[in-house]
Structure 1
Amino acid sequence: MAGVVGIEEPRWPAGRAVRILGVAGCYYAAAQLGLLRDLTVEGAVVTPIWPPTGVAVAALLLLGPGCWPGVTLGAFFAVLSLTTPGPAVLGVLLGNTAAPVCAALLLRRAGFRTDLSRLRDGLALVFLGALTAMLISATIGVGLLVLAGSLAGHSFWIVWLAWWVGDAMGVLIVTPLLLLLLHGGRRRLPLGRWKEATALLLAACALVPLAAYSSNSLLFLVYPLIIWAALRFQLAGSVMCALLTSVVATLAATDEAGAFAGLSRIEVLVKLQAFNGATALTALLLSALIIEQRNTRRSVERACQELVEVLEHLTAGEAPPPKPQNGPSGTVDDRDRRSEAP
């Protein structure tokens, strides 16, 4: 059974320092990727997808809570690349650190498995790790902008919504992808599945840009692709398809092209966030449900096979072979032999 903690905490300070610096570097790199495309809403610059939150949550789940200084350090350099340090920066750093830490703690408390093998794991990541925990960073960040006078009070809610959804999207898209690299990299597809995967990739590369950049608003065409990916390739296929869809849709929205042409900034933001959120939720929850059903079916098949073997022994008039039961003092047979010994 896969647990929450993927890697033990290092015993030596040098190892912990390396992990912290590694997390900080990954956080900063993800921030620079997120800042490549942004939207200006009510004078505030927001990103439709903020990948560093997903990096931070995955790092805290896999490396342990002791790597939280790396999140703070990476957030500091990310903010430093945008503006000069000030009193408000401390509050932003607090929010950007507290939200992923809270997400990791909530997920651990809920018994979250990093392989996302159950539907409850997908639900926990959505409602606890993304939607609930990211309220912290959005509330602190936008609240400080209002208190500092950088944002008008009447613009609080629209900017807060954009901040919150952007952070949540980072968790919904990036965190499963990083967890997938840990657990899914060990699996190998047969040749026939590689052909189907190639066909899915070609279809996605052709259909997703068409749906996003078409003036006829054809965004709904991506959902059959996500369903196909989830049914045939589970989390690996659905998450990659959702990532591609969200990135292309974000490019079209920031260019104000295709389905986002002729809309105001607020309308573009709302439409994009609703589409990205629905795409990520569909991919994550559908793949988690399919994985859980397949695991249940395999368990039932193994139980049926064991029952058939028992019935075959009973039909032949033989006693079924005993199953060894491991315990602190050895197997059952070992204890029986010790009790019969003089």
Structure 2
Amino acid sequence: MSPAAPSFAPVMRQLKFPGLSRVLIKLGSIVALAIAYYATAELSRYLASTPQDVTPVWPPDGLAVAAVLVFGNWLAYGVGLGSFLANFWAFRDTTSLAALLMSTLPVIGIAIGTTLGTLLGSWLLRKATKGRYPLERVTDVFRFLFLTGMAGPSVNATVGVTCLMLSGKVPWPAYGTVWLIWWISNVSGIWIVTPILLSWKNLLQNSQSPFQHPLQQLRQWLFPPLNSDPSQSSLPPQAFFAKLRWLSFWRTMEPAVLLGLIAGIGGVAFDRGYHFEFMLIPLLIWAAFRLGQPGATLFTGVVTAIAVIATVNGKGGFVRADLNYSLMQLQAFIGVITLTILVLTATIAERARAEAKLRVAFDQLAETNETLEIRVQERTEELYLKNETLQQTLTKLQQTQLQMLQSEKMSALGQMVAGIAHEINNPVNFIHGNLTYIERYVKDLLQVIEAYQLHYPQPPQTLQILLDEVHFTFLQADLIKLLQSMNVGTDRIRQIILSLRNFSRLDEADFKAVNLHEGLENTLLILQHRFIGKHNRPDIEIVKHYGDLPLVECYPSQINQVFMNLLVNAIDALEEPIAQSANDHEKPHLRRIWIATRAIANDRIQVEIVDNGVGIPEDVKSRIFDPFFTTKPVGKGTGLGLSISYQIITEKHQGQLWCSSTPGRGTKFMIEIPVHQYPRTNLEKY
């Protein structure tokens, strides 16, 4: 860590309290943490406890971990005291003094286990991140989730459940079930509460003044300053200030609008029974991009609170007759949204740091150019030689920065896609695997009923009325069809997950012989939502002409990225309006993308992607492979897709990528690469 970087050291080491004893301050902090732990525990039991006294999320552990990470290990005494108070009132036996003392022993053990688990998770995270802020890098986020969020609670759950078993409060055969519920609730509490506290602490610590009033820091986060200099805008002053007032109003209302949408959709999803739970994820992504990590984690906590309170009160789409199955669905939802938001906010932070470094590099380069312009008048010959060297350095720097930016982007995207696919894959495989047994059991039950009908063809009148009311004959025929439909649906989900994992190909960084058709199909599957027509436009038709291709040696993930970039450009071109003649005005424009593959001479293959969109003008076509060149609106394109694709094909695969286009009729991109590649050194790969 550089000396200028902000340290994530305990706050108590940075502040001085003249005239007060450090011992008294620490004792007061320990007592305050214990009270906060106890109050949070009681509030959780009151708001989010099932009729079976099961709490799906245990926020006090998240509070404890955040306190130890921020202030230091000495606050572990407050964790132990708070855990003792929270569990003493839950497990005390007041029948006699001896019973009260005996019931205190397992509570002490639980408090010790909670303290040890908190210290272990905090210590592992500090060692892994070397004292950095743990939510600013994608790798550190995963270290936090696994080391602090999962390893620490293992000690807590093991010690706590063992104490309950030894005291006879829980039977030994239920050890595994109780341990799993205990562990998952602690994991959920840490995943939700700790990021909120750490991100807000980091926001306050990185403010302009360490002693700035918290309300001023909150106002600066909610309402960042706008550029109020009309001389830097192309708009007239009156229009500029009107736009400035509108932006100020929107920034003021944006968090409230976001909270209202979350509350509205959450109410519809969990109170009225509509399955709109995952519609909350785009709102959390909105918060991640607009409000940063503090806002995103805070709104994630709000969504989680809504889901937990509704589920434990028997409302929402996660409620089932089996309590364990309901909690499994709820905690899977919590895990997915928490993982997604933390990884996304860390990726945004990494990109912001990369852009800052890029700006610094360009500023330094500009300063160097100014110095060279002054010296050119004095030493023309020397400047000529240095200018050549500078141009080579600039070209190499831009290429290196471009590769680093793309590598970080694809690595984060691949990890997020693979992680989400893995999280969804487990419950889907569980459901898919059990459908076969359900279908067999149902068939056996139907056979038993048929046997009863065979031996007792004349049932009693009351039984016959019941059979008529439930439409038993229809139910008997439709039940098997229903199970078969469910089997088809889960199999489809498994195929989509497999396509996501194949597209990311995180473990295939070297050359490998692959089927390019598989990569094309995976890319089309990921983009299939964009083929659906919108705003009275027809669907995009995909026409495939696949040839007989051999296995091609390549970097699979990079070739998939080329397919993705070219197909996205084709879709964008088809979404732009095309001028039509008067005769064709009433006919909808048929939107098509043709994909063709073929093997050609000299052991090479070609992939052709053609669209009938607006086409590319001649003055633009010559620059489409230039870095950072784009004709798309701001925020829609970076100008890197085609440049990176060209570099992947020509430099890393010894191939060719070219384009031909006719304005108003469409565009064709042609990829040509050899079937066999020569192995490269690690240096040549970059």
TM-score for the superposition, normalised by structure 1: 0.86
Distance 1:207 1:216 in 2: 10
Larger relative contact order, structure 1 or 2 (CA cutoff 8 Å, min sep 6): 1
Please tell me whether residue 159 in structure 1 is matched to residue 178 in structure 2: yes
- Contact residue 50 and residue 313 of structure 2 kept, 8 A: no
- Contact residue 227 and residue 283 of structure 1 kept, 8 A: yes
Please tell me whether residue 204 in structure 1 is matched to residue 262 in structure 2: yes
Distance 2:31 2:197 in 1: 18
Please tell me whether residue 304 in structure 1 is matched to residue 390 in structure 2: no
Per the alignment, residue 143 of structure 2 pairs with: 124
Distance 1:299 1:153 in 2: 58
Please tell me whether residue 3 in structure 1 is matched to residue 3 in structure 2: no
Identity of aligned residues (%): 30
Distance 2:350 2:272 in 1: 36
Q: Matched residue of 2:11: which SS?
A: coil
Q: Output one character per residue of 1:262-313: Cα deviation in whole Å (capped at 9) or x when no partner.
A: 4221121111111112121112221112112112211211121111111122
Per the alignment, residue 89 of structure 1 pairs with: 107
Please tell me whether residue 195 in structure 1 is matched to residue 257 in structure 2: no
Distance 2:91 2:162 in 1: 17
Which of 173, 189, 214 aligns to 1:170? It is: 189
- Contact residue 115 and residue 183 of structure 1 kept, 8 A: no
- Contact residue 91 and residue 107 of structure 2 kept, 8 A: no
Which of 23, 26, 31 aligns to 1:16? It is: 26
Distance 2:369 2:50 in 1: 67
Q: Which runs of 4+ in 1 moved over 6 A?
A: none
Please tell me whether residue 101 in structure 1 is matched to residue 159 in structure 2: no
Code of the residue aligned with 1:296 in structure 2: it is A
> Residues 261 and 127 from structure 1, CA distance in 2 versus in 1: closer, same or farther, beyond 3 angstroms?
closer
TM-score for the superposition, normalised by structure 2: 0.44
Code of the residue aligned with 2:203 in structure 1: it is G
Which of 48, 51, 55 aligns to 2:56? It is: 48
Deviation at 1:165, TM superposition (A): 1.3
Per the alignment, residue 528 of structure 2 pairs with: none
For residues 265-304 of structure 1, the aligned pairs below 5 Å read 265-304=323-362
Per the alignment, residue 153 of structure 2 pairs with: 134
Gaps of 5+ in 2: 93-102, 205-216, 225-247, 379-686
> Residues 268 and 89 from structure 1, CA distance in 2 versus in 1: closer, same or farther, beyond 3 angstroms?
same
Distance 1:18 1:12 in 2: 10
Distance 2:373 2:22 in 1: 61
- Contact residue 103 and residue 129 of structure 1 kept, 8 A: yes
Deviation at 1:234, TM superposition (A): 2.3
Q: Matched residue of 1:260: which SS?
A: coil
Deviation at 1:4, TM superposition (A): 3.2
Greater mean deviation of Cα atoms: 137-146 or 115-124: 115-124
Q: Output one character per residue of 1:91-136: Cα deviation in whole Å (capped at 9) or x when no partner.
A: 1111111111111111111124337322233222111110111111
Query: Which entry has the higher C-alpha Rg, 1 or 2?
Result: 2
Greater mean deviation of Cα atoms: 4-13 or 59-68: 4-13
Distance 2:7 2:126 in 1: 9
For residues 225-240 of structure 1, the aligned pairs below 5 Å read 225-240=283-298
> Residues 69 and 167 from structure 1, CA distance in 2 versus in 1: closer, same or farther, beyond 3 angstroms?
same
Distance 1:226 1:167 in 2: 23
Distance 1:173 1:60 in 2: 16
Per the alignment, residue 169 of structure 2 pairs with: 150
Q: Output one character per residue of 1:22-51: Cα deviation in whole Å (capped at 9) or x when no partner.
A: 22122112212221221366xxx3311111
Which of 33, 36, 43 aligns to 1:26? It is: 36
Which of 62, 79, 84 aligns to 1:76? It is: 84
Code of the residue aligned with 1:245 in structure 2: it is V
Code of the residue aligned with 1:59 in structure 2: it is A
- Contact residue 7 and residue 62 of structure 1 kept, 8 A: yes
Distance 2:67 2:55 in 1: 21
Code of the residue aligned with 1:198 in structure 2: it is A
Greater mean deviation of Cα atoms: 244-253 or 200-209: 200-209
How many residues matched? 316
Distance 2:51 2:359 in 1: 55
For residues 257-268 of structure 1, the aligned pairs below 5 Å read 257-268=315-326
> Residues 115 and 108 from structure 1, CA distance in 2 versus in 1: closer, same or farther, beyond 3 angstroms?
closer
Distance 1:75 1:167 in 2: 13
> Residues 46 and 5 from structure 1, CA distance in 2 versus in 1: closer, same or farther, beyond 3 angstroms?
farther
Greater mean deviation of Cα atoms: 152-161 or 92-101: 152-161
> Residues 261 and 69 from structure 1, CA distance in 2 versus in 1: closer, same or farther, beyond 3 angstroms?
closer
Deviation at 1:149, TM superposition (A): 2.6
- Contact residue 213 and residue 259 of structure 1 kept, 8 A: no
Q: CA RMSD in A?
A: 2.1
- Contact residue 234 and residue 288 of structure 1 kept, 8 A: no
Q: Output one character per residue of 1:166-201: Cα deviation in whole Å (capped at 9) or x when no partner.
A: 111111111111122322243433334333323222
